[in-house]
Structure 1
Amino acid sequence: MLGDDQHATNRLPVVLVHGVGMSHRSLSRLHDELAADSRVFSVDLPGFAGLPKPGDVDIEAMAAALGDVIAALDIGPAILVGHSMGAQWVVEVARQRPELAAHVVVIGPVTDDRHRTLPAQMRALALDTLGETPNTNAIVFTDYIRCGIPWYLTQVRHMLAYPLDKRVADLTVPLLVIRGEHDPVAGMRWCRRLRDSAAAGALAIIPGRHHVAPHTAPKAVAAAIRAHTDPRPTA
């Protein structure tokens, strides 16, 4: 886990969670942007980033472990931010442990109902690589290698089965959906459905970006998060 604790601020703390096959590296630019004036913690989940693989762990079990980690930080209710499959994990944490979440932010959330088979998901991800920068693709591919195909496929199976559109309806805190304008993985209709399914939902679009918007447009993503979650009164 990476943390930035040096900033005395009345902004809410932030917890960042990567997607399937990935690590904190895909969120490092967003981490740095938010850490300018917030306490930010990036979590590498078991089995990813070269960490030991715990066996067949489903969404609920992974979220329970993640909730224990967040509780151990003793930071109070935080903004829980998940990218791609990380969206599922943070939503589930907020369902299981609502006292840990002040807001939930999902970026490029999966799984769009257009891609709820493994071949369809692979096609969407392959299409996305055509719009990402070489540096972004390098991070994605090297993290996938560190993750390994067996663990990746195990987690994708749980990812495809998790009904995110139904689970966000259980949230007791506001939900912000962030989508890159050209994201082929999380379509506009799907993101609008998530927004509308939540009791208090909002949608922000990052112009010109694709699925890995936290890496390619960290300033814009950070600005969207701040705009929707900043507890401070405006002038």
Structure 2
Amino acid sequence: MAREQRFAGRRERSGWSQPVRSNAAAAGLPAFGGRLGGLGVDFAGPAGALPGSTRTAGCVPAYEEVASMEHHHRARYDEVRGRRVRSLHAGDRRAGVPAAVVVPGLGVVEYLMNTAHGCAAWTQTFVLDVGRADLPAVAATVAAWLAAVPDAPVVLVGHSTGAQAALRAAVENPGAVQALVLLSPTFPPTLRRLPLLLPALLRDAAHEPLHLWRTVLPGCARIGFRTICGFLRSAQSDRPEETIAEVSCPVLVVRGEHDTFCPASWATRLGATARQGRAVTSPGAHGFCHQHGEHTAALIADHSREGR
């Protein structure tokens, strides 16, 4: 009850609970067409803006229709601590069901859309595009978004380095998170030097489907090699095994059975260290949430009920 009261009065400011049926033009923004990351995803947005920009009108969230051959969702823009944060939004709010908020790894949002649309079948779902400067900055933005936008606690989901950011955000803003799901959280102590990541990547790649790389690589190219290396170095300095002990809500750790970035021993350790934690294994490798989106969404749905 106390957590619900903390969010009272935010609906009007953030527009979280308002049904989304408008696009950028309806928000008073001239629309344009384009392609998102070369992935065959169409987007619409304000004139002069680039994919991933966060321009909006005033403090009212703007929405843009985004469609692909497989999915339909909307891009939403919210003002958080003086900057506008973009998220991809699908699904509808349901009474008594927490919204799902998903944080991608390395700032590449596209590969998580299969899981996001699986979650959208049972709840309102947001994939956050929160930047990629470094891990602490991303975690701070996620925590600030959770404080500013939702009007009720959410199930917070993060994948890879996004799991590290979600973990930090859950500690920083515990009242906003009803349940936490860490998908292939990085990095175990054995992978905390940059040169060690290449052998792990090669072993993992042998078990990843080709369509994952077609989705991820354009996003990585858009971000740039230097930026990715800087972000990885900041993530390798993190200590999730210490942070997870501070999380008060139920925690689910999920890894792929062939995941070289999140070995079974690492996932088990994190699950055991959490106050209310457990670890499970999914088919696939590090990118299992792209290949097995519906299965991943079902795990998230089951875990969300533990926090109610």
Quickly say closer, same or farther: Cα 1:5–1:72, change in 2 above 3 A. Answer: farther
More displaced stretch, 107-116 vs 67-76: 67-76
Of the candidates 276, 289, 300, which is equivalent to residue 214 of structure 1?
289
Is structure 2 residue 232 aligned with structure 1 residue 147? no
Structure 1 stretches lacking a partner, 5+ long: 48-56
Is structure 2 residue 88 aligned with structure 1 residue 13? no
Does the Cα contact within 8 Å between 2:179 and 2:307 map onto a contact in 1?
no
How far the C-alpha of 1:60 sits from its partner, in A, is 2.9
Does the Cα contact within 8 Å between 2:156 and 2:166 map onto a contact in 1?
yes
Of the candidates 94, 111, 133, which is equivalent to residue 26 of structure 1?
111
The AA in structure 1 aligned to 2:211 is: N
Does the Cα contact within 8 Å between 1:59 and 1:92 map onto a contact in 2?
no
Does the Cα contact within 8 Å between 2:91 and 2:117 map onto a contact in 1?
no
How far the C-alpha of 1:114 sits from its partner, in A, is 2.0
Larger Rg: 2
Counting only pairs closer than 5 Å after superposition, residues 73-222 of structure 1 correspond to structure 2 as 73-207=149-283, 209-222=284-297
How far the C-alpha of 1:63 sits from its partner, in A, is 1.4
Give the aligned partner of residue 88 of structure 2.
2
Counterpart CA distance in 1 for 2:138 and 2:240 is 15
Give the aligned partner of residue 70 of structure 1.
146
Counterpart CA distance in 2 for 1:163 and 1:74 is 28
- The CA RMSD over aligned residues, in Å, is 1.7
Normalising by the residue count of structure 1, what TM-score does the alignment of the two structures yield? 0.89
How far the C-alpha of 1:5 sits from its partner, in A, is 4.9
* 3-state secondary structure, aligned to 1:169: helix
Counterpart CA distance in 2 for 1:23 and 1:229 is 24
Counterpart CA distance in 1 for 2:213 and 2:220 is 10
Structure with bigger helix share is 1
Normalising by the residue count of structure 2, what TM-score does the alignment of the two structures yield? 0.69
Using CA pairs below 8 Å that are at least 6 residues apart, which structure has the higher relative contact order? 1
What is the aligned residue count? 222
Give the aligned partner of residue 50 of structure 1.
none
How far the C-alpha of 1:105 sits from its partner, in A, is 0.6
Structure with bigger strand share is 2
Does the Cα contact within 8 Å between 2:249 and 2:307 map onto a contact in 1?
no
The AA in structure 2 aligned to 1:107 is: L
Structure 2 stretches lacking a partner, 5+ long: 1-86
Quickly say closer, same or farther: Cα 1:227–1:6, change in 2 above 3 A. Answer: closer
The AA in structure 2 aligned to 1:160 is: Q
Task: Percent identity, please.
Answer: 27
Does the Cα contact within 8 Å between 2:250 and 2:306 map onto a contact in 1?
no
Does the Cα contact within 8 Å between 2:178 and 2:307 map onto a contact in 1?
no
Quickly say closer, same or farther: Cα 1:114–1:139, change in 2 above 3 A. Answer: same
